[in-house]
C-alpha cells in the first residue's frame, strides 16, 4: 500500500462504475489510502458507499484527519466500518447489503497475500458470497497486483449461467520496471 501510483486503485472503481447503468450503492473492501473510495465518490450517481476496513487504527486516523489522503473521506455519502469484509459478506457483521458494486482490494492478490486469512476471498466460497452480495445487475471487481488465472477460473465457477466474467490486465511502470496488474470482473445477471 503506497501513494506512488494509485492509478490501478482508481481503475478498480472506474472499471466497475463504467459497467453499471445506475450504481447507487457500493461496498469497498479495504480502505487503504482511500483512492478507490474517492474515485467512487467522484461519480454523482453513487448515493451511498460502505467502506469496510480491518485496521481500526487506520479508520481512527482517517476520522481524526491524521492521514492527509483520508481526511474528510467519511461524509454524508460515505461510511467507514471496522470489520473483516469476509464477515460482512457472510452477513455476520454490519453493514448489510446488497450493493450495486462490490469492490475488493484487501491484499496483493491471491498469489502474494499479506494476510493468509484473506485466501478464501479469492476462492470459490468467498467469491460466491461476494457475488451473492450484489443487487441484480450488480458488478463485482477484485484487484490483483498480478495476473491470477486461478482467481479468473474461480470467478467463472461462481458465475450463474448468462453472467459474464472478464480479466482486465493493466500494465504499470514502477521504478523503470514493467508489471502487469489485473482486475477480475463479474457482472451479475439482471434477474434476481
Ligand X SMILES: C[S@@+](CC[C@H](N)C(=O)[O-])C[C@H]1O[C@@H](n2cnc3c(N)ncnc32)[C@H](O)[C@@H]1O
Closer residue to ligand X, CB minimum distance, 90 or 156: 90
In the complex, residue closest to ligand X by CB = 32
Closer residue to ligand X, CB minimum distance, 67 or 163: 67
Enumerate residues 10-29 that contact ligand X by CB under 6 A. Answer: 29
Strands (E), 70-158: 78-82, 99-104, 134-144
105 is catalytic: yes
Number of H-type helices and E-type strands within the chain: 6, 7
Contact flag: residue 7 with ligand X (CB under 6 A): no
* Shortest Å, Cβ 122 to ligand X: 11
Q: Which of 11, 50, 84, 105 does the annotation list as catalytic?
A: 105
19 exposure class (CB count in 10 Å sphere: 0-12, 13-18, 19+): middle
Binding mask 29-68 for ligand X (x = CB under 6 A): xxxxxxxx---------------xxxx--x----------
Q: Around Cβ 76, how many Cβ atoms within 10 Å? A: 7
From 26, 36, 29, select the one nearest 77 (Cα to Cα). Answer: 26
129: phi > 0 → left, psi -120 to 50 → alpha, else beta; which?
alpha
Cα torsion through 5, 171, 49, 110, rounded to 10: -100
The three-state secondary structure class of 29 is: strand
Binding mask 80-119 for ligand X (x = CB under 6 A): ----xxx------------------xxx-------x--x-
* Shortest Å, Cβ 192 to ligand X: 27
The residues of the shown chain that bind ligand X, judged by CB under 6 A, are: 1, 9, 29-36, 52-55, 58, 84-86, 105-107, 115, 118
Which residues are catalytically annotated? Answer: 105
Amino acid at each position: 500500500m503506497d501513494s506512488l501510483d494509485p492509478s490501478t486503485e482508481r481503475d478498480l472503481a472506474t472499471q466497475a462504475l463504467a459497467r453499471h447503468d445506475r450504481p447507487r450503492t457500493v461496498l469497498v473492501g479495504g480502505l487503504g489510502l482511500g483512492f478507490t473510495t474517492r474515485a467512487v465518490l467522484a461519480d454523482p450517481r453513487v448515493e451511498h458507499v460502505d467502506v469496510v476496513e480491518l485496521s481500526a487504527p487506520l479508520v481512527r486516523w482517517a476520522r481524526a484527519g491524521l492521514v492527509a489522503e483520508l481526511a474528510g473521506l467519511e461524509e454524508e455519502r460515505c461510511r467507514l466500518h471496522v470489520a473483516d469484509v469476509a464477515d460482512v459478506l457472510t452477513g455476520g457483521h454490519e453493514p448489510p447489503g446488497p450493493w450495486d458494486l462490490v469492490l475488493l482490494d484487501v491484499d496483493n492478490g491471491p498469489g502474494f497475500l499479506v494476510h493468509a486469512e484473506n485466501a478464501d476471498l479469492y476462492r470459490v466460497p468467498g467469491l460466491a458470497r461476494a457475488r451473492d452480495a450484489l443487487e441484480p445487475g450488480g458488478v463485482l471487481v477484485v484487484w490483483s497486483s498480478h495476473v491470477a488465472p486461478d482467481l479468473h477460473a474461480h470467478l467463472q465457477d461462481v458465475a450463474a449461467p448468462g453472467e459474464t466474467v472478464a480479466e482486465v490486465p493493466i500494465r504499470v511502470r514502477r521504478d523503470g520496471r514493467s508489471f502487469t496488474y489485473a482486475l477480475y470482473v463479474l457482472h451479475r445477471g439482471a434477474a434476481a
